[in-house]
């Protein structure tokens, strides 16, 4: 039996649930388990994909960070989890499209695989935007350009929690209180198939994205400069 089967048997939803396993079950099914006590001053580093549990043996300060070293393995796992979250309709803490465009704009990547993967993600993102844009224009829907301001956060759909990048489908929940709500295209069309009452905001010009895409080239490693 594998860990997935164990999780299944325990009726745990892996993405949202929490589970304190019976160690004997894990030992009995041959799942490798490392168990140890973290002493003061110890740092425990857990690799991506490692299922883990922490229990305090006394009073303690509980400090944990999620870190994402920028390498191809990390990036691939992050994308896979992002997509899996999307399938399962669970919100991704890391808005990968937003992050990928930011990386392309601000960081020099020297690793070939990482560069290739990010570039591929940007291309898919641009393709999606262009197709969606063309459909909107063809149907006569007005798109209003509204440039991003500094430190503006990434957006998520109010209904399904999917990341919404560049083309935002905005409704005003109450006209008097001026609260605006962002939706993805699918959820916006569920409200109104013709998108009446929905304002489509565009946060980047397509030329701007193309320019970021083209300027994002593989950098030379420091040793070869």
Residues of this chain that interact with Zn ion (CB under 5 A) are 157, 159-160, 184, 187
Q: Which residues sit opposite 96 in a β-bridge?
A: none
**Residue 86: CB minimum distance to Zn ion, A:** 10
Nearer CB in complex with Zn ion: 129/157 = 157
Residue 197 CB contacts under 8 Å (≥ 6 apart), including other chains: 171, 191
Nearer CB in complex with Zn ion: 78/184 = 184
**Residue 160: CB minimum distance to Zn ion, A:** 3
**Residue 138: CB minimum distance to Zn ion, A:** 22
Q: Where are the alpha helices (DSSP H) in the chain?
A: 3-9, 23-28, 72-87, 96-106, 112-138, 185-191, 206-215
Q: Which residue has the tokens 């916006």?
A: 188
Nearer CB in complex with Zn ion: 81/185 = 185
Tokens linked to 27: 């030992």
Distance CA 103, CA 119 (A): 10
**Residue 54: CB minimum distance to Zn ion, A:** 34
Q: How far is CA 194 from the centre of its chain?
A: 29
**Residue 171: CB minimum distance to Zn ion, A:** 12
| 167 closest CA partner among 193, 137, 140 | 137
| 173 closest CA partner among 161, 181, 165, 184 | 181
Nearer CB in complex with Zn ion: 70/160 = 160
| Structure letter (DSSP) for residue 172 | E
**Residue 18: CB minimum distance to Zn ion, A:** 26
CA-only gyration radius of the chain, Å: 22
Nearer CB in complex with Zn ion: 94/160 = 160
Nearer CB in complex with Zn ion: 103/162 = 162
């Amino acid at each position: 039996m594998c860990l997935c089967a164990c999780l299944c048997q325990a009726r745990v939803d892996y993405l949202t649930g929490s589970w304190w396993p019976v160690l004997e079950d894990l030992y009995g099914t041959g799942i490798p388990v490392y168990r140890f006590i973290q002493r003061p001053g110890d740092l425990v580093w857990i690799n991506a994909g490692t299922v883990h549990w922490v229990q305090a043996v006394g009073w303690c300060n509980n400090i944990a960070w999620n870190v994402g070293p920028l390498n191809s393995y990390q990036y691939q796992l992050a994308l896979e989890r992002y997509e899996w979250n999307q399938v399962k309709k669970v919100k991704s803490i890391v808005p990968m499209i937003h992050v990928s465009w930011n990386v392309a704009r601000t960081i020099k990547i020297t690793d070939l695989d990482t560069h290739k993967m990010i570039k591929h993600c940007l291309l898919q993102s641009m393709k999606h935007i262009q197709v969606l844009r063309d459909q909107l224009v063809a149907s006569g829907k007005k798109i209003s350009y509204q440039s991003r301001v500094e430190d503006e956060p990434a957006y998520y759909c109010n209904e399904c929690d999917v990341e919404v990048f560049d083309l935002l489908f905005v409704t005003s929940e109450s006209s008097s209180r001026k609260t605006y709500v962002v939706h993805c295209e699918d959820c916006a069309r569920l409200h109104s198939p013709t998108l009446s009452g929905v304002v489509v905001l565009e946060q980047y010009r397509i030329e701007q994205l193309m320019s970021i895409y083209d300027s994002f080239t593989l950098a030379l490693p420091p040793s070869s400069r």
